[in-house]
């Protein structure tokens, strides 16, 4: 029968229990102090990013990433103190991260694009844009996707990779926009009178800016019409109202002044053999 004496218990305590208890205590201290330092560093990163006026969503996400990476180092240091083979653990974590990265390659691309969109801010919530094959008002910008509302109030969810990988047209980026309109008159109409009428209408519209000066000019001698370009500058919020209402007013004014707006015509000549 195994005889476990007091001397053996004391030796086992001195050789195993006490050293392990000391290692455990040191590991716990490393973990506690490390966690405290990590929280300080994460809060510092958050303040620095906040002062740089980065998007709050991006700030929170980057803080969580930094905290996860730093805490991983703290946990590895604590386990190493306990005698755990951290080299193998790091290798396993690295292999797992590589496998996850390969399986989520498309999602990681959208994530990287989302970070770039939030950092460089080519548009913001409320802007009307054409991006990623969709056109609409930006509702929200996420880490993986961007949500738009179309003018007819449909919601479109666009992957950030598609947006950042293509052209982005932001119609709301500037305070002013130029309205490009084309109006045609018949070849038999008075060209100078038509031009004078258009200039008068432009000057009478209070929504049209004086600077830059609006342009009214003959642009083309078309197949069945003489075409004018009318290019006034307006505040971005007035763009569509000016385009729609000015076009309607031109038709009514031309009718009143006896100026025709021709439709496409084709003359067919029939020749008979003698």
Asked whether the beta carbons of 155 and 148 are under 8 A apart, the reply is yes
Express each pLDDT in 105-129 by its tens digit.
556 788 888 888 888 889 888 899 9
93 and 33 housed in the same domain: yes
Which parts of the chain fold into alpha helices (H)?
6-12, 18-51, 56-81, 86-103, 105-120, 160-164, 191-204, 239-257
* Shared-domain flag, residues 132 and 60: no
Q: Is 183 exposed, middle or buried (0-12, 13-18, 19+ CB in 10 A)?
A: buried
Q: Is there a domain that residue 111 lies in?
A: no
Across the chain, mean pLDDT equals 83
The CATH number of residue 156's host domain is 2.30.30.60
Q: Does 163 share its domain with 184?
A: no
In a domain, 180, yes or no: yes
For residue 68, pLDDT beyond 70:
yes
* Domain-located, residue 182: yes
Range from 20-29, 39-48, 132-141 carrying the lowest mean pLDDT: 20-29
Residue 23's closest CA among 80, 72, 102, 69?
80
Instruction: Determine, yes or no, domain membership for 218.
Output: yes
Same-domain pairing of 25 and 98? yes
Q: What is the pLDDT of residue 191?
A: 94
Report pLDDT for 31. Answer: 85
pLDDT band at 256 (very low <50, low <70, confident <90, very high): very high
Picking from 22-26, 147-151, 174-178, 229-233, which range would have the lowest pLDDT averaged per residue? 22-26
Tens-digit pLDDT profile for residues 197-247: 999 999 999 999 999 999 999 999 988 899 999 999 999 989 999 999 999
Average pLDDT over residues 157-169: 91
Identify the band that residue 1 occupies on the pLDDT scale cut at 50, 70 and 90. Answer: very low
- Among 132, 154, 170, the domain boundary falls at 170
Q: What is the CA radius of gyration of the chain?
A: 36
Who contacts 215 (Cβ-Cβ below 8 Å, separation ≥6)? 229, 230, 231, 232
pLDDT at residue 272 tops 60: yes
Instruction: Examine residue 16 and state whether it is found in any structural domain, yes or no.
Output: yes
Q: How far is CA 50 from the centre of its chain?
A: 19
Average pLDDT of the segment spanning 86-100: 65
Q: Based on the domain organization, do 20 and 91 belong to the same domain?
A: yes
**193 and 149 belong to one structural domain:** no
pLDDT of 12 reads: 59
Q: Are residues 90 and 24 part of one domain?
A: yes
Q: Are residues 25 and 78 in the same domain?
A: yes
User: Same domain for 138 and 66?
Assistant: no
Separation of CA 248 from chain center: 36
- Contact of 115 with 58, CB cutoff 8 Å: yes
Rounded average pLDDT over 9-14: 62
**Does residue 188 carry a pLDDT above 50?**
yes
pLDDT at 101 over 60: no
Domain assignment of residue 253, yes or no: yes
Check whether residue 137 and residue 196 sit in a common domain. Answer: no
Looking at the fold, whether 44 and 87 belong to one and the same domain comes out as yes
Residue 215 Rama label (left phi>0; alpha psi -120 to 50; beta): beta
Tell me whether residue 110 is in a domain: no
Separation of alpha carbons 113 and 158, rounded Å? 12
Would you say residue 82 lies in a domain?
yes
- Contact in structure between 228 and 184 (CB atoms under 8 Å): yes
Identify the residue whose tokens are 């950042």.
164
Task: Determine the structural domain holding residue 57 and report its residue range.
Answer: 11-103
Residue 13 or residue 203, greater confidence: 203
Name the domain count of the chain.
3
The enclosing domain of 58 has a CATH number of 1.10.287.1260
């Amino acid at each position: 029968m195994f005889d476990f004496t007091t001397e053996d218990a004391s030796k086992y305590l001195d050789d195993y229990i006490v050293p392990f208890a000391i290692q455990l205590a040191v590991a716990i201290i490393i973990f506690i102090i490390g966690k405290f330092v990590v929280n300080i560093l994460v809060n510092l990163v958050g303040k620095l990013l906040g002062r740089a006026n980065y998007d709050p969503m991006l700030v929170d996400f980057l803080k969580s990433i930094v905290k996860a990476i730093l805490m991983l180092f703290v946990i590895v240091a604590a386990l190493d103190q306990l005698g755990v083979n951290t080299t193998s653990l790091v290798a396993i974590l690295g292999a797992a991260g590589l496998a996850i990265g390969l399986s989520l390659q498309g999602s990681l691309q959208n994530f990287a694009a989302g970070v770039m969109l939030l950092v460089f801010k080519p548009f913001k919530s409320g802007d009307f844009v054409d991006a990623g094959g969709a056109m609409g008002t930006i509702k929200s910008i996420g880490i993986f996707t961007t949500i738009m509302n179309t003018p007819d109030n449909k919601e479109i969810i666009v992957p950030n990779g598609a947006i950042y990988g293509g052209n982005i047209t932001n119609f709301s980026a500037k305070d002013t926009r130029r309205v490009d309109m084309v109006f045609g008159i018949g070849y038999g109409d008075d060209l100078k009178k038509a031009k004078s009428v258009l200039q008068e209408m432009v000057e009478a519209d209070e929504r049209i800016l004086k600077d830059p000066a609006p342009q009214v000019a003959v642009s083309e001698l078309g197949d069945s019409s003489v075409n004018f370009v009318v290019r006034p500058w307006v505040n971005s919020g007035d763009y569509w109202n000016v385009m729609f209402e000015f076009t309607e007013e031109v038709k009514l004014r031309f009718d009143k002044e006896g100026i025709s707006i021709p439709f496409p015509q084709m003359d067919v000549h029939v020749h008979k053999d003698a």
